[in-house]
Amino acid sequence: MIEQEIASIIRFVLEACGDPTPYYHNIPESFVVPSVYFPVPETELQPDTFSGYKAEYSMFVSFFHSSTELAYQLAAPVCHSINAARRQIPEIDYDGKWTGKYVRIQDTRLKKADECAYQLQLDWTGRYNYTPQDGELIRNFYMNGGRL
């Protein structure tokens, strides 16, 4: 589910940039550098198939360092690592072990966000099944007066 996808992305990003200090909710005023901020992704839900729907996610990961150049040097290897892995991030389970599945990143964009900060946009799509509904199955089906 989405928690596993986000956890997998966070783990991949942190390993690719040398495990800087991560922040997940609010960044404190006296935050440590180098650091990476992982916000909640933006989400757009849409119907996908008869049995499921899709969720399109965009996460804007921020990299902070003592200079703009160092922030870029922190963020760039992550962008390259994702693309070198064919944009497939190994999905992990709740124990941190690989599930054998991947989170497929659709797009990566790296840009300067501010002085001493770079932002990496990661886009991916998750597909999920609808909640099954209980219902009575058809017993007989009649078409043009005959039973099928």
Taking the C-alpha atoms of residue 75 and residue 20, their distance in angstroms, rounded to an integer, is 11
CB atoms within 10 A of CB 116: 16
pLDDT cut 70: percent of the chain above it: 90
Sorted by where each begins, the domain ranges of the chain are 2-130
2-130 has CATH 3.40.449 classification: no
For the entire predicted model, the pTM comes to: 0.84
Least trusted range by pLDDT, from 14-18, 64-68, 89-93, 140-144: 140-144
pLDDT category at 137 given cuts 50, 70, 90 is low
CB atoms within 10 A of CB 102: 16
pLDDT category at 138 given cuts 50, 70, 90 is low
pLDDT cut 90: percent of the chain above it: 76
Note the pLDDT tens digit of each residue in 61-118: 999 999 999 999 999 999 999 999 999 999 999 898 999 999 999 999 999 999 999 9
Note the pLDDT tens digit of each residue in 42-54: 999 999 999 999 9
